[in-house]
Amino acid sequence: MTKSLRRALPLVGAGALVCLASGCGGNQDTVAPASPQEHSITKLFWVMLGGSTVGFALVVALLWLGYARRTRPGLPRNVGDRGATRLVVGLGIALPIALLIALFVWSDVFVITSTAAPGRSSTSLAVDVIGHDWWWEVRYPGTQVVTANEIHIPVRTRVYISASTADVIHSFWIPELNRKIDMIPGQTGHIVLDADRAGVFRGQCSEFCGLQHAHMAVSVVVQSTQAFHRWLDANSRPASSSEPGEQAFLGAGCGECHQIRGTAAQGDVGPDLTHLELRSTLAALTLANTPANLDRWIRHPQAIKPGSRMPDVRLSDADWAAIDAYLRSLR
Amino acid sequence: MTVTTAERSLATLERVWQARPGVLGWLTTVDHKRIGLLYFWTTLVFFAFGGTEALLMRTQLATADEHVIGPGGFNELLTMHGVTMIFFFIIPMTTGAFGNYLIPLMIGARDMAFPRLNALSYWLFLGSGVFMYSSFLVHQAPNAGWFDYVPLALKRYDGGLNIDFYALGLIFNGVSSTVGSINIVTTIFKLRAPGMSWNRMPLFCFAMLAAALSLIFALPALTMDCVFLELQRKAGFDFFSPPGGDPLLWQHLFWIFGHPEVYIIVLPAFGIATSIIPTFARRRMLAFPLVAMAELLVAFIGFGVWAHHMFATGISTTTLAFFAAASMAVVIPSTIQVFAWLFTVNLGTPLFRTPLLYIGGFIVFFVLGGLTGIMFAAIPFDQAATDTYFVVAHFHFIIFGAAVFPLFGGIYYWFPKVTGRLYDEQLGKASFFTVFAGTLLTFFPMHIVGLLGMTRRVYTYDSGLGWDVYNLIETIGGFVLAAGILLILVNLIVSWRRNLPAGRDPFNGGTLEWTIPSPPPHYNFAVVPTVTSAYPNWDAADRAHDVEKLAHGESVLADGHQTPTSTVNDAFADPVADMPAESPWPIVVGVAVTAAFFMLLTMHVLVAAAFVAITLLALTGWHADDEDAAWPPSRLARANGWWGMVLFVAAEATLFGTLIGSYVYLGFRNVQWPQAPIAKPHVLVPVLLTAALVASAVPVQLAWRAGRSNRTKAAWRFLAGAFALQLGYFIWQVHDWVDAIHDAPPSRSTYSSIETTMLGFGHAHVLLGLLIDAWLLVQLARRFTPYRLVGLQSAAFYWWAVSVISVAVLLTQESVHL
Amino acid sequence: MSRIRLEVLQWYALIGGALAWTTEHVLGYFVSDGGCSRQVAHAGLWGGLLVGFAAAAVAAAEAAAITVYRSTSSAAHDAPGPDGRLHFFAVAALVGNVLFLMLVGLDGLGSLSHLPCVQS
């Protein structure tokens, strides 16, 4: 069993490497870079992985040598205690010191400059991201646009992200675009997002933030500049719905927590719903935004996301249907 | 047949050192071997708890969107798994079980330096474990992660008792670990057999020394952090909430403890590896001085890397560079050791039996986890991969692969010594291969799934992100691993029942524990062993000399519980020490302290105070039977008790360092300090009072000098004078302190919170000194014994330390005038 | 060389470099962190001075280690104390101080090659 295991391991390892390099995961893959920043991090990783593999192989080879020559004292070529001590000094002190200094200079002096917080003037668009238990508020300073869990940015544009929190510590991280930045009460962190291709990139809160830490995801939608501006325009308008469900919505108390611009709903506990139907997911990427899911989510939030701030509310089926229709008209 | 001298000596030793029979004997024992075994079985139970928690989590994570455990339960399991494995399994297992059992045997001593304190540290450990786990009974187990970040852990987001169990439980556990560590360090300093200078001390003891020193200096940061947290949760102080406070203060203090902690966990494993490798490679360790230095260095540099856990918090690049630098350099001691181990195996003719196999597994996993560790010193990569499963993989290879594998190897290696029976080799090898495969399967895929973006501490995950298959493999691996660990247990039980006698030295080990029978007699060594190298059992002439000494009745020391002591550096023989026998007081104190913590948890402060009073009363009973030691004192060297006091003061000084550092840190974060409208503190009165306190240390010192030259009355008068001065200081200061709290309540500002806490701790240390003085005054009025003399000497040292601390606190407090 | 001088040199070699790095590291942290508020002026200068002094102290510790190592070279590393112990700790300090020099150097390089007070 152990022999076959030993033979299988390199295969599994190699398979995993190929898989990693080709981006076999979803769209939350650290080593599938889609920005200059993430490219530099990924390069750093592959080089370190290469060096580590050589080092690991050396150690395993020495262990194997010890086993293979277990009946013979001493090292090959009659290297004795003195020679072995020199090897310890060379391999255990001199060589690692040289390699570590090189790594330090490369990563912590040079690479770090590309992933560090950008100067505001080096960017051409600003987005504020605010972490909440357990969703993301997204604002575009200078516009009316407020949305949630879905950040739209134009491709090949340096975007200045300001990350802060409304409650506990969260961490903003889009693995394919850049490093993460913690959202800590009392301070604002900054990173740059600079996608070099269009697409949807998923991210997830990466600082433990309580019950629904697992269901606090966000997606970054990278689009052409024109498409982005169309989206921004659409989102900056107040709600214009002719559906009668607005009264049912307000009557059920939803407006205490949610804002719908242009209506009496002005809450700030949950996400802004002004253009809910323009978003592709619900509950911070927990569900796809389909009519069925929307209905299920507003009726049974505690079953889908236990502990969420959104309460289970008892209403008549007619009211639910009216609210469903109203929410689906918010586009 | 005539009775030989040797037989007579052994019979006397048997009689002098025999243990009280039955359960009572175990409850009152001070024998380091029995305490070690108590630690061993207790920590194994906690290991089972922690392992079960892990398996439950792995079951929940086996597939996407699983519904075995809800988010609330999962977060409790997540937190308790970490807390249990670190504070209730590895630390007590390594320092408490292995350290206690083996250190005296390796250095040729008959017990630890403070046998009753040793028992106390066990009962406190057990109490803290019961305390922490009782949280499950009331369904309020800690649930904010073992790292317990604020503000998630503040009352606003976590209103139950969950976090109070965590904070008080860790303070409690820290007391036990500190007491145990002071004991280990003093034992290694003072009780080495004559001839065992530093350069001849077994590497296991170097590792334990480094781990114990690290604990002494690391735990105060955690303790202070938990005190801040409880003050904020229960008394409304403000350390962590902006704008005045800073949530990052929690993280800094937590990791100033938390990273040394990693090395504390893994150092004993190094020690076990450096014991097993020479035995089975059948030669001495290569590069012995470098390996010894590496063990000390890794512990030391480990204190300078803490903020690498905070690379993503947005701290400035210039500041992060300090911690990246230290994180790079801390690798070197480990590379030295790895190559020293590998070349020792290669130079020798190794027997690959179960203990060495586990060490082989340890080297593989340690290097694997170490290499990914280096990656985290590259700040940009850390900022990408931190808080993903890549980290989980990295540190489990270190704290499971590297720290626990040697424990398993060590259990096999010393099983014959502890039980006198051989273990089953075939079953042992089978257990190794199962555990090895289980470890790889459980933790290796975590690297991949982490790189694919899976974040840590999630109770569930979506399908379609490429994580499913790896998670399933991990869960299967977890159960394989559990099966392998059960095989070890089966082996121990089977081997115990099979009862194949091991003899004193089944493996031809090099260190002193193999020179004595298995299981070791209560007195450990029949004669004071002769030591001329680090591998005394391989020095045949010295062992023959021991036999000769026994035959002539030399160096037997059978006049009571006696053990030899020696000088700290070069181990020249010092006077013989009399050790205490069984005592009921440690368990009494343990129970009273446990009760006090439960009362604090439920905010019954007065009842808690009553239990503290019972503790103090028990402590006076503790020393009641030390009256019979002979006068004049035979000990001219600095006694164990003095060293114990020095180490205690070192821990307390670190506590104040933490307080002062926190004060400076919070001060930097507030443009206005003190925050308006609080007035700056007075200058004249605190300066004069502190001067008086410093002056009061002089008469205590004089009291000790008078005592040394047997002028008992003068000693009493000097001490009484000092006591009066210190009492006056204390009353005045506490009065001012209460006034200040009244004028500027700590609940209103961060400044008042940290100021009140810092001064309060200062006054508490004066109060402790006053209690020591009062106790000594009563004792000196009754009778003067060598024990009291050490008491006076320690009190003098204590007051000098309190003086220095008070000056530091004063300077900090007055720094706002700059 | 006198016994006392050797003792002093050995202990300085063993802990002098360690203490120098500790001081530089902790103060350097506070200077670089506090430099971003009003409390510390000329943070870069202070940081540079700290690194300079610490590097000199560590170099002196290494020199002390070499001196003790040479003076006790006749003793094996498990010879009886004090000679054996002096030699043993001298060997240990020889390695330790190289490491502390690396630490101080990297601290200096890392903290001085970036602009102060810029979020990472």
DSSP string, B189-248: HH-SPTT--GGGS-HHHHHHHHHHHHHHHHHHHHHHHHHHHHHHHHH---SSSTTTS-HH
Pick from C44, C37, C24, C42: which is nearest to B667 by CA? C37
Beta bridge partners of A193: A159
Closest chain C residue to A187 measured between Cα atoms? C119
pLDDT for residue A2 is more than 60? no
pLDDT reported for residue A1: 43
**B52–chain A Cβ distance below 8 A for any pair:** no
Q: Chain B residues with CB inside 8 Å of C10's CB?
A: none
Contact B453 A38 (CB under 8 A): no
Please tell me which of the candidates A70, A114, A207 has its beta carbon nearest to residue B387: A207
- Do residue C110 and residue A104 have CB atoms under 8 angstroms apart? yes
Round to whole Å and give the CA distance between B290 and C88: 9
Quote the minimal CA–CA distance from B281 to chain A in Å.
9
Taking CA–CA distances from C19, the nearest residue in chain B reads B300
- Shortest distance, CA A62 to any CA of chain C (angstroms): 24
Check residue B637 and give its pLDDT: 63
B675 in contact with C, Cβ within 8 Å: no
Chain A partners of B314 at a C-beta cutoff of 8 Å? 117, 181-182, 184, 187, 189-190
| pLDDT, position B502 | 93
Asked whether the beta carbons of residue B378 and residue A208 sit closer than 8 angstroms, the reply is no
CA B54 to chain A, closest CA, distance in angstroms equals: 18
User: Are the Cβ atoms of C98 and A93 closer than 8 angstroms?
Assistant: yes
From the CA of A112, how many Å to the nearest CA of chain C?
8
Residue of A82, A105, A107 for testing the chain C interface, max C β-carbons within 10 Å? A105
Q: Closest by alpha carbon to B210, among B292, B287, B125, B90?
A: B292
The two three-digit tokens of residue B422, written as one number: 């051989």
Helix (H, G, I), strand (E, B) or coil at A247: helix
Chains in contact with C, counting 3 or more C-beta pairs less than 8 Å apart as contact = A, B
Considering only CB atoms, which chain B residues are within 8 Å of A206? 386-388, 455-456
Chain centroid to CA B7? 40
B151, B314, B351 ranked by CB distance to A185: nearest:
B151
Contacts of B460 (CB under 8 A, 6+ apart): A214, A215, B60, B61, B64, B65, B66, B71
The answer to whether C73 and C87 are in contact (CB under 8 A) is yes
Minimal-distance CA residue of chain C relative to A94:
C98
Look at residue B620 in the predicted model and tell me its pLDDT.
83
pLDDT of residue B629: 56
How does DSSP assign B282-323, residue by residue? TSPPTTHHHHHHHHHHHHHHGGG-GGGGGGGGT-BHHHHHHH
Please report the number of interchain residue pairs, chain B to chain C, with beta-carbon separation below 8 angstroms: 148
Structure tokens belonging to residue C25: 């590291």
**CB pair distance less than 8 Å for B464 and A88:** no
> Which residues from C are below 8 Å from B278, CB to CB?
none
**H or E stretch covering C65:** helix C43-71
Distance from CA of B214 to the nearest CA of C (A): 15
**A207 — phi, psi (to 5°)?**
-120, 130
A314 contacts: CB under 8 Å, gap ≥ 6: none
- Contact call for B325 and C107, based on CB within 8 A: yes
Residues of C with Cβ-Cβ distance to A90 under 8 angstroms: none
Interface check C114 vs A, CB under 8 A? yes
Percent helix, percent strand, percent coil in chain A, to nearest 5 = 45, 20, 35
Beta-carbon separation of C78 and B200 below 8 A: yes
Which residues of chain B carry a pLDDT beneath 50?
Answer: 631-632
Contact yes or no for B297 and C110 at CB 8 A: no
Smallest Cα distance from A180 to chain B, Å: 6
- Split at pLDDT 50, 70, 90, the class of C80 is confident
Report how far apart, in Å, the C-alpha atoms of B453 and of each of A205, A208, B466, B780 are: 11, 15, 9, 68
Q: C32 vs B322: CB contact, 8 Å cut-off? A: yes
Q: Are A192 and A161 in contact, with CB atoms under 8 Å apart? A: yes
> Inter-chain contact B292–C102, Cβ cutoff 8 Å?
no
Question: How far is residue B552's CA from residue B546's CA, in Å, rounded to a whole number?
Answer: 10
Q: Which two three-digit tokens encode residue B302?
A: 């480990």
The pTM of this model reads: 0.95
Which among C95, C99, C118 has the least Cβ separation from residue A117?
A: C118
Give the closest of B296, B533, B570 to C85, CB-based: B570
Is B777 at the interface with chain A, CB within 8 A?
A: no
Residue A311 contacts residue A255 (beta carbons within 8 Å): no
C74 at interface of A, judged by CB pairs closer than 8 A: no
Q: Which residues 284-303 in chain B show a CB within 8 A of chain A?
A: 286-287, 290
The answer to whether C37 faces chain A, any CB pair under 8 Å, is no
Using the beta-carbon criterion (under 8 Å), do C102 and A189 form an inter-chain contact? no
Q: Which residues of chain C from 77 to 106 reach within 8 Å of chain A, CB to CB? A: 95, 98-99, 102, 106
Interface of B with C in 502-541 (CB under 8 A): 532-534
C119/A93 touch (CB, cutoff 8 Å), yes or no:
no
Structural tokens at position C11: 């202990």
Q: Rounded to a whole number, what is the distance in Å from the CA of B323 to chain C's nearest CA?
A: 8
Q: Residue B329's closest chain C neighbor by CA?
A: C103
Residue B310 contacts residue B251 (beta carbons within 8 Å): yes
pLDDT of residue B172: 97
Q: What does the pLDDT read at residue B98?
A: 97
Instruction: Tell me the sheet residues that pair with A153.
Output: A222
Which chain A residue's Cα is nearest to C114?
A: A109
Pick C102's closest partner by Cβ from A97, A108, A117. A97
Q: Which residue would you say has higher pLDDT here, A113 or B629? A: A113
> Which residues 511-570 on chain B approach chain A with CB closer than 8 angstroms?
none
Disruptive mutation site among C78, C100, C119 for chain A (greatest number of A CBs within 10 Å)? C119
* φ, ψ at A159 (rounded to 5°): -110, 130
**How many Å lie between the alpha carbon of C57 and the closest alpha carbon of chain B?**
17
User: Which value does ipTM take for this structure?
Assistant: 0.94
Q: Which residues contact A300 (CB under 8 A, 6 or more apart)?
A: A312
Q: Tell me how close the Cα of A314 comes to any Cα of chain B, in angstroms.
A: 23
Two structure tokens written together for B358? 């586990």
Q: Flag if A109 and C110 touch (Cβ within 8 Å).
A: yes
The chain C residue lying nearest B570, using CA atoms, is C81
Q: Between A and B, how many residue pairs show a Cβ–Cβ distance under 8 A?
A: 278
Q: Give B374's contacts in chain C (Cβ within 8 Å).
A: none
